[in-house]
Structure 1
C-alpha cells in the first residue's frame, strides 16, 4: 500500500508519464508489487521560504517500510529527489518529504484494514 502524494506549484504537461515512472521507482525502492503502489500529483499555489519558486511537498506512506531516523529514509529521500528534481526543475533543497508508517489498523483498503 505504498502511497506517495506530491503537492507542487509546478504544472506538468505529461503527468501520466511522470506518475508511471515514479510508481515504478517506488515499487522497486520498497520491493513492493506495482499493483499496490499509489502515486498522486497535485499542482497548486505554494510558497517555500517566502518564495513562489518551484517547490514540492511529498507525503510518503507505507506499512513497515521506513525506519525511525535510520539510513533507509535518507536513501529513499535521495532516490526520490534524484527522480523528481530534474524532471520538474525543482532543486532538491526545495523539496520536503514526510515519511509515514501508519499502524496496520489505521490504513483501510477494500472495505477493511490491513490489520
Structure 2
C-alpha cells in the first residue's frame, strides 16, 4: 500500500438484509468501476461460538468483543474499500450510486464508517 492509499471499513448493523443486499450489489458493482478504486467488497460478519451474546455483568447485553448490543435482531456487514487517494474516496462519496445506497439504507439500521491511512515507518 502506498502512502497515499486510503482504506475504509464501513460497518453496517441492519434490520432487514433483503433491503441491504440488492442496494449493496448495485453500489459494489458501480464502485468497482470507479477510477481510483483498488478494492471494494461487502462482507457478512461471522460470529464464532466464543463470541455469542453474553451479559457483561451490568445487566447489559453485549455482542462480539464486548460491544454494546442495542438489539439482537441486527445483522452485521462490512464494506471494505481501498482507494488510491483521499481525493478519489471523496469523489466516490459524492456519486449518484452512493447517494442512492444511503437513501435505501436510511431507516435500515446503523452505519459506522472508519477511514485509515498507512503507518509510515
Give the TM interval when normalised to the shorter protein: 0.3 to 0.5
Please, what TM-score do these two structures have when normalized by structure 2? 0.42
If you compute each CA radius of gyration, which structure gives the higher value, 1 or 2? 2
User: Bigger relative contact order, structure 1 or 2, given CA contacts below 8 A and separation 6+?
Assistant: 2
Please, what TM-score do these two structures have when normalized by structure 1? 0.43
